[in-house]
Structures are given as C-alpha cells and as structure tokens.
Amino acid sequence: MSNFMRAVRAVLWSFIGLGGRRAEADRRAAQLGLLPLIGVALAMVLLLIGALLVLAHFAAGT
C-alpha cells in the first residue's frame, strides 16, 4: 500500500474512526511522519468544507 493511502487511512481513522484498530492507526502514524499526516488532514478538511458549501448552495437554490 502506498504511503499516501496509509496517510489517508490514518487521517480517516482520526476523523471518524475508520481504518482499523487503534494500535494499527498508531503504527501507521509513526511510520508516516507528521508532515504527510498534516498535509492529508488539511486537504481532507478543505474538501469537506468545499463539499458542505456546494451542498448549502444547491439546498438554498441559488
């Protein structure tokens, strides 16, 4: 599995509890390092905010 996918799984686990057991998530986070995890987390947060803004735009009908 690529490092990017490991980072995504670690971030998803921290956000919503997906991706396996706590020990596995800790091991993945230790293998990846801090900067890739921060980068992936920031990108996922921005995507979530963007999706919510688009959804609100369409729900408001404007």
pLDDT tens across 1-45, in order?
688 888 888 788 777 776 567 777 677 777 888 888 889 999 999
Mean pLDDT of the chain: 83
Q: Can you spell out the DSSP letters for 3-62?
A: HHHHHHHHHHHHHHS-SS-HHHHHHHHHHH-HHHHHHHHHHHHHHHHHHHHHHHHHHHT-
pLDDT tens across 33-56, in order?
888 888 999 999 999 999 999 999
Range of the domain at 35: 3-60
Domain count, the chain: 1
Assessment of whether the complete model's pTM goes beyond 0.85: no
Share of the chain above pLDDT 90, in %: 32
